Amino acid sequence: MVRGCLLPRVSSARVYACNPRLAIRSLISGVPYRYLCRHLFANRVKSLGAAKSPAREGRRNLSKAILVVLGQFTEDVEGRIARDFTVRRVSSDAPTRYEDVLRAAEGADALFISPVVKLDAEFFRRVAASVKVIATFSVGYDHIDLRAAAARNMPIANTPGVLTDATADLAMLLLLGAARRAYEAEQLVRTGAWAKMSSGARLLGWDCAGKVLGIFGMGRIGQAVARRARALGMKIHYYNRNPLTQELAGDAVFHRSAQGLLRVSQFLSLHAPHTPETHHFLNAQNIALLPAGAIVINSARGGLVEDEALIAALKTGRVAAAGLDVFEGEPNINPGYIRLQNTFLLPHIGSATLETNTAMGMLALDNIDAVLAGKPAPSLLKL
Ligand code: DGY
């Protein structure tokens, strides 16, 4: 966002005014004084345009909007940030990042954050009045108090749509990883235990074909998971606030209650946002409704699962296996998951592909640009 050209003005009159060195050069070379003056003037303008000194660079930067950036992004996104903004970088792994973000926001125009920082009511009470928009590098926004943002009239943008396929792919990796005991299998190879196994020993997993996949939350990502799971021969059932249109649902079976869905879900994949209503949705009571030996997949948010209840069910085999990419309190996850063999665990990489991360970053920047230019932004959250 370049707000206008702030190159220092150079007047030809100042250059043309008495310049003894040029006058001497003119006498010696025989080149007319006015010609040498014109030449000097043109060169000076050119060198100012290509200013390199820190002082000039600083002055040029004053013309760009100030963006607070939390973390590092792909090369293309970083290139655009460096080109269009004066950047204030805040480390995304410092434990004091909340205060760091607030400090960096003083006098800044926009914030580009990620779910590692929680923007609560206190944040919105304290954030500098200069900040005109906040974009999060995520489709999920449970880390942002939208009501408090609304009270400050602060536009908040997220990144819907562009990460649907990557996240759905990852959900399938979790599903297959859990069903085929990928963690244990990989360990056999890496530890050399495979070579010591008796010839008849087999690491038996569970088929997907013909099984019911229950999808809790049939938004964009839930639907993309359904498309992929059909290719594995799975039967799709879902719970959603509202049923999909026939065109979108296809052969998927709608359940009016989440409990109805749980009762038939041999595989259960969570795709709902984390809200006060969905907090700890998968608790002991709801786990008890699942068919014995069900497989649980979570690529949405850790807060949807009551960890102790799921860990207890995994220990007894009531839940045969779980594939999890998200955790309550991540990255400090419940150690109970780590001790279990029937868990396939990933470090919240649902959207982590080069193409998807670039698209997410570009969409976040599109939103910031649009708000700062007073134009309609592509994906502002409704406050
Ligand atoms: C999202 O976009 O919400 C992903 O989970 C990354 O946080």
pLDDT tens for residues 207-256? 999 999 999 999 999 999 999 999 999 999 999 999 999 999 999 999 99
- Mean pLDDT over the full length of the chain: 88
For ligand 1, pick from 112, 137, 138, 353 the residue to mutate: most ligand atoms within 8 Å of CB.
138
Q: What angle do CA 68, 300, 97 make, to 5 degrees?
A: 25
**In angstroms, what CA-CA distances link 56 with 48, 59, 60, 62, 127?**
8, 5, 6, 10, 30
CB-based contact 1:373 (threshold 8 Å):
yes
Same domain assignment for residues 267 and 315:
yes
**Is 214 within the bounds of a domain?**
yes
Same domain assignment for residues 280 and 249:
yes
Same domain assignment for residues 247 and 128:
no
Query: Can you give the pLDDT at residue 54?
Result: 38
Same domain assignment for residues 170 and 319:
yes
Percent of the chain residues past pLDDT 70, beyond the cut: 84
Domain CATH for 244: 3.40.50.720
CB-based contact 340:314 (threshold 8 Å):
yes
Same domain assignment for residues 270 and 251:
yes
Count CA atoms within 13 Å of residue 339 on its CB side: 8
Task: Tell me if residue 301 is catalytic.
Answer: yes
Q: Which atom of ligand 1 sits closest to the CA of residue 137? A: 2
Residue 289's CB: how many other CB atoms inside 10 A?
A: 16
pLDDT at 356 over 60: yes
Same domain assignment for residues 107 and 169:
no
Query: Can you give the pLDDT at residue 63?
Result: 85
Query: Can you give the pLDDT at residue 94?
Result: 78
Q: What token pair was written down for 17?
A: 């005014």
Query: Can you give the pLDDT at residue 199?
Result: 80
Which residue range(s) make up the domain with 50?
12-59
Same domain assignment for residues 219 and 309:
yes
Q: Which of 301, 306, 318, 339 is catalytic?
A: 301
**Is 151 within the bounds of a domain?**
yes
**Is 76 within the bounds of a domain?**
yes
Task: Give φ, ψ of 378 to 5 degrees.
Answer: -65, -35
pLDDT at 71 over 60: yes
Task: Tell me if residue 279 is catalytic.
Answer: no
Number of structural domains (the chain) is 3
User: In this predicted model, what pLDDT tens digit does every residue of 145-183 receive, in sequence order?
Assistant: 999 999 999 999 999 999 999 999 999 999 999 999 999
Which single residue is written with the structure tokens 């966002």? 1
Query: Can you give the pLDDT at residue 34?
Result: 52
**Is 173 within the bounds of a domain?**
yes
Same domain assignment for residues 43 and 89:
no
**Is 243 within the bounds of a domain?**
yes
CB-based contact 379:72 (threshold 8 Å):
no
pLDDT at 56 over 50: no
Same domain assignment for residues 197 and 109:
no
Ligand 1 center from residue 141 Cα (angstroms): 8
**Is 377 within the bounds of a domain?**
no
Residue ranges around ligand 1 (CB below 6 Å): 115, 138-140, 163, 350-351
Confidence of residue 41 (pLDDT cuts 50, 70, 90): very low
pLDDT at 24 over 60: no
Percent of the chain residues past pLDDT 90, beyond the cut: 80
CB-based contact 162:359 (threshold 8 Å):
yes
Ligand 1 center from residue 345 Cα (angstroms): 16
For atom 6 of ligand 1, the residue with the nearest CA is 138
Q: Which of 78, 106, 328, 330 is catalytic?
A: 330
User: In this predicted model, what pLDDT tens digit does every residue of 264-274 receive, in sequence order?
Assistant: 999 999 999 99
**Is 381 within the bounds of a domain?**
no
Same domain assignment for residues 193 and 334:
yes
**Is 181 within the bounds of a domain?**
yes
